[in-house]
Every structure is written in C-alpha cells, then in structure tokens.
Amino acid sequence: MRPLLVCAVVSCALVVAVPVHASPACGSYAYAGVQTQRPVYGVSAAIMALQAPDVKDGHVAGWVGIASKNADGWIQVGLSALPGADTNDVYLEYAAPGRDPQYTVLRADVSVGERHRFAVSELAGRPGWWQTSVDGSPAGRAVFLPGSHGRWRAQVLGESWNDNSGVCNAYSYAFSGVALAPAPSHRWAALGGYSSFEDPGYTLTWRSASHFVASTRTAH
C-alpha cells in the first residue's frame, strides 16, 4: 500500500493521487480519509468493513499509519483485499526511506462487520522505533524508521489502487474512536488538526468527531 503524499497545500496531494485522465474514472491511487497537519507519536482507530470488497484490479485497504512528508517512508496497519476476495486480511506494511516496502498478512478472512482496533505508536524511550498493534497486542516486530521521530504525520485512510486501469474498486470502511498521541508522553487524545481527502470515486462521511466512513461514491 502507498501512503498519501503529504503536501503543503491539500489540493497538491489530491493532484498527486489522481491523474488528469482519471475523471470520471478513478485514479491509480485514490483516497478518502484524514491526515494530521502536525507530526504525531501514535495513531489508533477501530476499523470495520461495512460491505464485502469488490476489487477489479489492484487492491483496496483501510488503515492507520504514519508517513514522511514526501511519502518515501511509512508504517501502517489495517485491513486490505485483493481481486476475487469477499473478505479482508489484517496486514501491516512499512518502508524505511529509500527501501522497498515490507508487507505482511497477519490474519486472513476478516468478515464484514468484524471490528478490530489498530494502532501505530513510537516506542517510549526509543526515538524512531515504531510498533504496530492489533486489539491491544503487538503485531510484528518493532521497526526503526530513520528521520521519523517528531517529524512524520498520521494518516487514517481508505485506499484504492487500480494499476492505472481507471476502474473504481469498491469498499466501505468505518473508522471509529480515532485517536492520536500528539506528544512523546503517548497520552491519547481526540482527533484534531487534520486535513480531509475525497479523491474522485470515493467519499468521506462523518458520523461524529472521531468516527467516519470512507467508501466508494455511489453513482447517481
């Protein structure tokens, strides 16, 4: 999965994600969700698929993570699905700047309506070392990401990648209890100070200040 490229202006990120020829089709990478405007030390949310994925080409995913400003480094954890799947997998992925991404499936066949809490947190007293967790338990090993301490921003996103085919892969992910660790103390706080994104073909629907649904836009 590729994190959303963070730009100084929100519209810049949208242009990166959607090629000029993508309208009315969907861009190669397309997102619906939020990213923080400032660096954080952790991000967490419960994620649940509201419908079975329909992936025609590439993949879909709903995840939490942190990423560098130029998107050359990241760590994320959440749900994903590939063509032909009617359920999601729990996965984690990370990429140190300048290195190839490392993708791991932690659990297969997560059904529609099954909710899990995902988190990415910097380890206390270990600047630049990050740990993913699922339902409060560590998932995978801690990862060192050079240059991440106090500099990388949180992202909570629904994502589709279609390998430039123009198809709109279908998904609907509910994100609830979204929380941030805005300081090294790792005290969790409510979501705040963010920019929101709705690339062509996808929509963001708020249920409360910490609960939203990222999904395929319904044709009218």
What the block records as the tokens of 76 is 């994320």
**Alpha-carbon gap, residue 216 to 96, rounded angstroms:** 30
Q: What range defines the domain where residue 16 resides?
A: 10-216
List the chain pLDDT tens, one digit each, 220 residues: 878 774 333 333 332 333 333 344 799 999 999 999 999 999 999 999 999 999 999 999 999 999 999 989 999 999 999 999 999 999 999 999 999 999 999 999 999 999 999 999 999 999 999 999 999 999 999 999 999 999 999 999 999 999 999 999 999 999 999 999 999 887 999 999 999 999 999 999 999 999 999 999 974 3
Tell me whether residue 114 is in a domain. Answer: yes
Cis peptide before 138 (omega within 30 of 0): no
Tell me whether residue 79 is in a domain. Answer: yes
Tell me whether residue 197 is in a domain. Answer: yes
pTM: 0.90
Tell me whether residue 2 is in a domain. Answer: no
Residue 11 in 3-state DSSP? helix
Tell me whether residue 1 is in a domain. Answer: no
Domain count, the chain: 1
- The CATH number covering residue 96 comes to 2.60.120.1270
**Alpha-carbon gap, residue 93 to 4, rounded angstroms:** 14
Tell me whether residue 69 is in a domain. Answer: yes
Tell me whether residue 92 is in a domain. Answer: yes
Tell me whether residue 102 is in a domain. Answer: yes
